[in-house]
Structure 1
């Protein structure tokens, strides 16, 4: 891409990632409930899932899913069920900030949670299939290389914004932390809301 197109593309990505959405809600809620470290791992899981969406859209799976509404609905309901499952599971757990001893196992679970939450959102896959081709030039470099470059920029830009949200949420929460015990309900509530939004979309 030339410089002007690159700037336009990055500006469009910034606009997308500044809008409230499931990924933003997840990293903010995780940062508020469990601290910056776990939230950053969740952001890495989301980034890995975005990379998968870029790959799948490049392979044409997004178009296939769009052509078969039944498959789209199946993925959507599966994603909603997974989010509700996470909410129920977390309500049974203590969501206080992690100690050094249990960061490693919870970090792994947080990565998987971020990855699956984004992966099971069919709108994210459809977004890649509709957004990326608009910046591919038929007269430029090979289309696969352009798609790879655009996808890499998308993943890295998204990771930057998610990491920023995670750090800000954790910092603000540390300053405003109360002793009401309500913090353990933050993530479960977010997952229930995201499940409802996914089904309704």
Structure 2
């Protein structure tokens, strides 16, 4: 699998999947939105919100890809510097998670109360101003400039991330929002998950800078 995706310009597909999964399982606006829609509107509402979240992510990934592609084309040396900045940004996010006192990710989901479930999922994703910055830092970490294939590389990365989102979102809907809500409200479990993800991101950022 890695060999195939490397021909598309992706350095390590398994690391990309692992990092994406870590970000997905952290309680955030998208997770709470999917749980809320599933709880109020059942399976149909839950899956509609999942598709909305995926479309919002696709828009943000497209905007980030334009910026990253421009850097890669204009100056490969600058792009290399962006890769190191991206690794540092992941380590910074890891430190924030490691030392965070509490999670406030549910606020955005509850603030968007109008519109259909699909619209809610879409808007909840778009109103997060940090998302595009995250993708700008995330994409360069997995691109090999030597075999980069332009739009095809970004499409492959987007497909991997969207597939992970679809699987995770579907599990949230199918496993039932009651158990998931209880898990999210357990502060000890949430705090442990947040710190574990923080340690992973810090180590991941360090590993990328030493490759």
Give the TM-score band, short-chain normalised. 0.5 to 0.7
Is this contact kept in 1: 2:33–2:110, CA < 8 A? Answer: no
TM-aligned CA deviation for residue 172 of structure 1 = 4.8
The one-character-per-residue Cα deviations of 1:75-109 (angstroms, maximum 9, x if unpaired) are xxxxx89963x34x5xxxxxxxxxxxxxxxx8xx1
Is this contact kept in 2: 1:132–1:151, CA < 8 A?
Answer: no
Q: TM-score, normalised by structure 2?
A: 0.57
CA distance in 2, matches of 1:31, 1:83: 14
Q: Within 5 Å, give how 1:173-184 maps onto structure 2.
A: none
Deviations 1:44-84 (A, max 9, x none): 011011110110111229x9xxxxxxxxxxxxxxxx89963
Tell me, in whole angstroms, the C-alpha distance in 1 between the residues paired with 2:148 and 2:120: 36
Q: Deviations over 1:5-25 (max 9, x none)?
A: 111111111111111111111
1:59 paired to 2:66: yes
Structure 1 pair 134/119, CA: closer, same or farther in 2 (3 Å)? same
The ranges of structure 1 where at least 4 consecutive aligned residues each deviate by more than 6 angstroms after the TM superposition are none
1:38 corresponding residue in structure 2: 45
Q: Which residue of 21, 27, 31 corresponds with 1:20?
A: 27
1:156 pairs, out of 157, 163, 171, with: 163
What is the number of residues matched between the two proteins? 137
Larger mean CA deviation between 141-150 and 16-25 belongs to 141-150
Q: Which runs of 5+ in 1 are unaligned?
A: 64-79, 90-105, 177-201
Structure 1's 28 and 83: CA in aligned 2 closer, same or farther, altered over 3 A?
closer
**Ranges in structure 2 where 5+ consecutive residues have no aligned partner:** 5-10, 71-106, 183-211
SS at match of 2:53: helix
Identify which range, 20-29 or 138-147, moves more after superposition: 138-147
What CA distance in whole angstroms lies between the structure 1 residues aligned with 2:108 and 2:178? 31
Match of 1:167 among 159, 170, 174: 174
Q: Residue 166 of structure 1: CA displacement? A: 1.7
- Output the CA distance in 1 between the equivalents of 2:119 and 2:35: 17
In 2, Cα distance between equivalents of 1:158 and 1:113: 16
